[in-house]
Amino acid sequence: MDTEENPAVFLDRDGVINVDKGYVHKQADFEWMTGACEAIKYANDNGFLVIVVTNQSGIARGYYTEEDVQALHAWMNQHLAERGAKIDAFYYSPYHPDGTIREYRRVSDCRKPQPGMLLQAFADWPIDKAQSFLIGDNEKDMAAATQAGILGYLFGGDDLHALMADCIRTSRLATSS
C-alpha cells in the first residue's frame, strides 16, 4: 500500500455486488449482479480503491463462520483477477445484538448503519475522503456513508457498471470545481 491518497468506492456486498439470496456465504450460492465485475474494474482503472463493507449477521446467528466469509471473499477476488480487477479490502461485521453465538452477540459500531467499517478503512488506507463514496442497496448503507462524511448512492439493482461510471464522474466534477 502506498502513501499517496486515492479516492475509494465503498461497496455493500449482498444486493450490490451479488444477488441477495439471504445469508450468501458459499460460492455455489453466489451470483454476480449485472455489471458488478465491470464496475469494479472501472473503479480500479480510474484510480479508485475498491473496499467492501458488509454486515454479515449470519456469523452471529450461527449460519456460517468467519472462515466461510473469508473464503468467499478470496474466491471473489480470484474471479475478479481473471478479469483484470480487484477488491482492495473487505471489511465485514459479524455482530448482531440478537445473535446466537455469544462472542458475536452485541451491538457494534462496525455494523451498519454505524460507520465503523468505513472509519476503520480510513484509518487503514490513504484515502482521499473528498472524492470517496459508498454504493449500497438500503438506508442503513446511506446512514453509514453520511456518518462517515462521504456521499452515498442507492443502488436499485439494475446495472452496477452504469451507476459506478456516473458516481465516479460526479465525484470528479464535485472536487474539480
Active-site residue among 2, 14, 124, 159? 14
The answer to whether 141 is a known catalytic residue is no
What does the radius of gyration of the chain's CA atoms come to, in whole angstroms? Answer: 15
Neighbouring-strand partners of residue 54:
92
Active-site residue among 12, 88, 137, 141? 12
Query: What is the phi/psi pair of residue 32, to 5°?
Result: -60, 140
The answer to whether 109 is a known catalytic residue is no
Unique residue bearing C-alpha cell 455489471 = 35
Biggest distance spanned by C-alpha atoms of the chain: 50
Q: Amino acid letter at 171?
A: S
Q: Nearest CA to 72 among 56, 49, 95, 96?
A: 56
DSSP strand pairing (8-11 vs 133-136) = parallel
Residue 168 to residues 49, 53, 56, Cα–Cα distance (Å)? 12, 18, 27
**Range list of β-strands (E), 64-114:** 89-93
Query: What is the phi/psi pair of residue 146, to 5°?
Result: -60, -45
Residues carrying an active site annotation: 12, 14
